[in-house]
Chain A
Amino acid sequence: MLLNKFQIGSAKNSRKGNYRKGDLGSALLFLSPTLVIFSTFILFPVFFSFYLSFQKWNMFSGDATFIGLDNYTRMIQSAEFWQVLKNTAIYSIGTIPINMALSLWVAYLLNKKIAGKKFLRTAFFAPVIISPVAAALIWRWMYDPNFGLVNFFVESLGLDPVNWLNEPTAAMFALIIMSVWKTFGINMVLFSAGLQGIPESYYEAAELDGAGKWAKFWNITIPMLAPTTFFIMIMSMISSFQVFDVVYVLTSGGPLGSTKVLVFYVYEYAFKFFEMGYASAISYFLFALLFLLTMFQIKYLKSKVYSVA
């Protein structure tokens, strides 16, 4: 509906003669602060890093040398690059399903009439607002083998303490748990909005037909939520492939490089070794990968999304 209104409105305006003479000028005037910031900090870096990905440049000596596709071939030949890509994939495959299932479940529970609903919603959303660095620091404390809260609980359950951040598999798991905790709140809010958009009459109709709780959930809630789910899936995939800050603080890519993800690798080459060309090439690889994955999702999943009017 909103979209239609907008389209009608803009169609009207675009009719010739409906412009007043100063329109474009004043529009640009009001837009110019955004345009300046957008072009300096987003547009320019996007094109500049593409240019850089074919150069060898260390940021301080003025001249960059053109080296063709060398950065890209170096990337493909590097064993570390593939390891890092694998780590990123494991992280994404680990976070996205848990994140989505948990946020849907919590949103579903909070959609019912229960006491303290507002408080609980705020509480679950709070981690999203906390600075990632502060959150990761807190979790590092909690995961500490000697002073940590997590092992305290593990041990009081009578289990052997786990070395969360010093054992490759455990560290990835620790990172996934923390990331889910940190980000599921935003998805929960999106799912809540989706749930509230489902008309009550559908459920009533289903009840008249004798549908149980599960039948209603599977046949009404899930299909009706499909557009929301689709959106969340694409966004979570993009953000999980771009994860950096929590990794940097929580595990620093360790132990033994087991949690080193793609953006961490880019950071290391760009701002530690100052190999801007190589770092830009990896960034463009990441862009291409995300672009293809998103296109794939849109093409093959969108037809399955049940759209309402």
Chain B
Amino acid sequence: MPVDFGKEVDYVARLARLSLEPGEKERMAGQLSEILETARRIQELDTTDVEPTSHVTELPAVLREDRIKLSLPLNRALQNSPRREKGFVKVPRITASEQAEE
């Protein structure tokens, strides 16, 4: 069964917060269908009882001591921020549908 990305493209683009131009969307849907078609080949492999590899490093997590280190000076911390106001970072209004997501 071929992968049809056309139906998914809007949903995924919203999830990924990517605005796509109309032509771009169709082109992408076509390319992604093809890529996923190839990617699906791994379904042929039997992975019964195979644990997934999330990390190739088989070591436990490192813990550091709870000591305060110097933070960045305020002007350094925000030096790349496109919109600032009184030491804050400024963003446009938040819509109701986004509120629900948090």
A joins B in a complex: no
- Interface residues in chain B, defined as those with a beta carbon under 8 Å from any beta carbon in chain A: none
